[in-house]
Chain A
Amino acid sequence: MNGLVYLSNVVTLELDREKCNGCRMCIIVCPHNVFMIEDRKAVIVNRDLCMECGACDKNCPEHAISVRSGVGCAAGIINGILRGTEPNCDCSSSGNCC
């Protein structure tokens, strides 16, 4: 992964294989190849590559995936601390953001 791997064992990604129907949607939407199909069901193969974007969770029709999604952005987290809210990259007021 050309040296661009973030911290290990931190992400909140969970997959309930019992619920999985093998539709492959998680594999299609994941930008970091976290999932694979094994025995016709999804399995997490690259857990530490997960960036908690939440695309798999949002697109799993069986609700088999859960992840606390959000932006991995220090400025957004500081924003949240300052305003007493959740980490928040909605910086529309400051006029400069992603």
Chain B
Amino acid sequence: MIMNADYITGSLATTAGTVPRISASLSFHDILNTIRVRWAIGRMNYKVEPGLYAVGNPDAGSEVFVTCNFKLTFDQVRKALAGTDAWLLILDTRGINVWCAAGKGTFGTKELVSRMGKVGLSKIVTHHRIILPQLGATGVSAHEVKAQTGFRVVYGPVRSEDISEFMKQAMKATQEMRTVNFPMWERMKLIPVELSYGSYYLLLVPALFIILSGLNRSGYSLDHAFTGGLRATFNLLVAYLAGLAVTPLLLPWIPFRRFALKGLIVGWVAALVLWMFQMTGSGWIEKSSWFLMTGGLTSFLAMNFTGSSTFTSLSGVQKEMKTALPLQIGMAALGIILWVISKFITV
């Protein structure tokens, strides 16, 4: 048992051993860390120790809430339990959120049943009921848990902020509490992590474009490398932001259902704006190269946002990728070829 974390405020003796008691309010430190993790810094290693925790002064009749060991989720759930006396059972999902972990199976029947056994849950509570987040249902089979442990799984609301209302309604979730939506604010929160997608390519690709920008008919010019390379880097950055920030933000309002098409439209609008500000160079070869590169890149990045969205199906994404991926690669490749050619031929 770890007792050094700052959210642990004490301990509670139970018939199955000592259980750490946790605070239901977030510290300044927790909030800072949330912001940090939202920017993808140390996001894959933001965990709490799996096991049983106490919120308030729970006893043998208190409810048991189950969640994952991603600290961001843990914080949201303990905050939602403020003012109640409850048990919080944390499964080992390797620091991944409930829905993704359920998809991978780590937030699953097997881990739940084994964790219940390890903490001795049947010795701690006299009722046979555990409350799971609804999105955990992708990995957990309620009837199998019942068969293996005798405990009944109650699926709570999707969002932890609805827990208190759910409890007030005698553990009945309204349709709204059961529905996953994807509002602007939630899409916005994902953008910082999206922007980290490029990782080292964000340095590598501009470097290549700067080097290649120096090419011209009379050999190599450092002057061209600098000015042309800077302009190319700027254009690529615009395409990157178009795919990873603008498309997610404006998602419901961009025409078409396919993410690749949504991205293509945004990419071309971005290219059009760049062209109007004379950032796409002189001559039609370079101009069209930018429409091809921007379109291909933005479309590809937008298509990747399917993984962060909350409503795309595997079959659907496979269907759109079958046509989109070859076209994206083709557009980008043709764009790069034309762009290099434009260094030597000005039409």
A residues adjacent to B (C-beta < 8 A): 2-8, 10-12, 25, 28-33, 49-55, 58-59, 61, 68-78, 87, 89-90, 92, 95-98
Instruction: Tell me whether chain A's interface is mostly helix, strand or loop, or mixed.
Output: loop
A52→B142 contact, CB < 8 A: no
Given A29-B137, A58-B139, A90-B104, decide whether A2 and B252 contact each other with a Cβ distance below 8 A. Answer: yes
A7→B138 contact, CB < 8 A: no
14 contacts between A and B (CB under 8 A): A3-B253, A5-B257, A11-B315, A12-B315, A28-B134, A31-B179, A54-B103, A55-B137, A72-B306, A72-B311, A74-B317, A75-B307, A92-B94, A98-B308
Given A3-B252, A33-B178, A75-B304, decide whether A55 and B138 contact each other with a Cβ distance below 8 A. Answer: yes
A98→B138 contact, CB < 8 A: no
Contact with A along B72-97 (1 / 0, CB 8 A): 00000000000000000000001011
Closest CB of chain A to B224's CB: distance in Å?
35
Question: Is B127 close to A, CB under 8 A?
Answer: no
Closest CB of chain B to A20's CB: distance in Å?
14
Residue of A nearest to B153 (CB): A59
Q: B313 touches which one: A6, A74, A78 (CB < 8 A)? A: A6
Given A58-B137, A59-B137, decide whether A10 and B178 contact each other with a Cβ distance below 8 A. Answer: no
Residue of A nearest to B132 (CB): A29
Given A12-B315, A68-B315, A74-B321, decide whether A89 and B307 contact each other with a Cβ distance below 8 A. Answer: yes
Bound-state Cα–Cα, A32 to B313, Å = 12
Chain A residues in 8 Å Cβ range of B44: 95-97
Chain B residues in 8 Å Cβ range of A12: 315
Question: Is B346 close to A, CB under 8 A?
Answer: no
Interface size on B, residues (CB 8 A): 58
Question: Is B140 close to A, CB under 8 A?
Answer: yes
Closest CB of chain B to A50's CB: distance in Å?
6
Closest CB of chain A to B148's CB: distance in Å?
14
Question: Is B251 close to A, CB under 8 A?
Answer: yes
Contact with A along B122-157 (1 / 0, CB 8 A): 000000000000110111111100000000000100
B312→A98 contact, CB < 8 A: no
Chain B residues in 8 Å Cβ range of A32: 179-180, 311
Chain A residues in 8 Å Cβ range of B100: 89, 97-98
Contact with A along B160-193 (1 / 0, CB 8 A): 0000000000000101001111110000000000
Residue of A nearest to B97 (CB): A98
Chain B residues in 8 Å Cβ range of A77: 314, 317-318, 321
Residue of A nearest to B45 (CB): A95
New A-B pairs, 16, CB < 8 Å, besides A7-B319, A98-B97:
A25-B142, A31-B135, A53-B138, A55-B102, A59-B143, A69-B103, A72-B306, A72-B313, A74-B303, A76-B307, A77-B314, A89-B100, A89-B103, A89-B307, A96-B199, A98-B96
Closest CB of chain B to A43's CB: distance in Å?
16
Closest CB of chain B to A68's CB: distance in Å?
7
7 residue pairs, one from A and one from B, having the closest CB atoms: A73-B307, A3-B252, A72-B312, A70-B314, A29-B137, A55-B137, A31-B180
B314→A72 contact, CB < 8 A: yes
Bound-state Cα–Cα, A6 to B252, Å = 11
Residue of A nearest to B180 (CB): A31
Closest CB of chain A to B304's CB: distance in Å?
5
Question: Is B48 close to A, CB under 8 A?
Answer: no
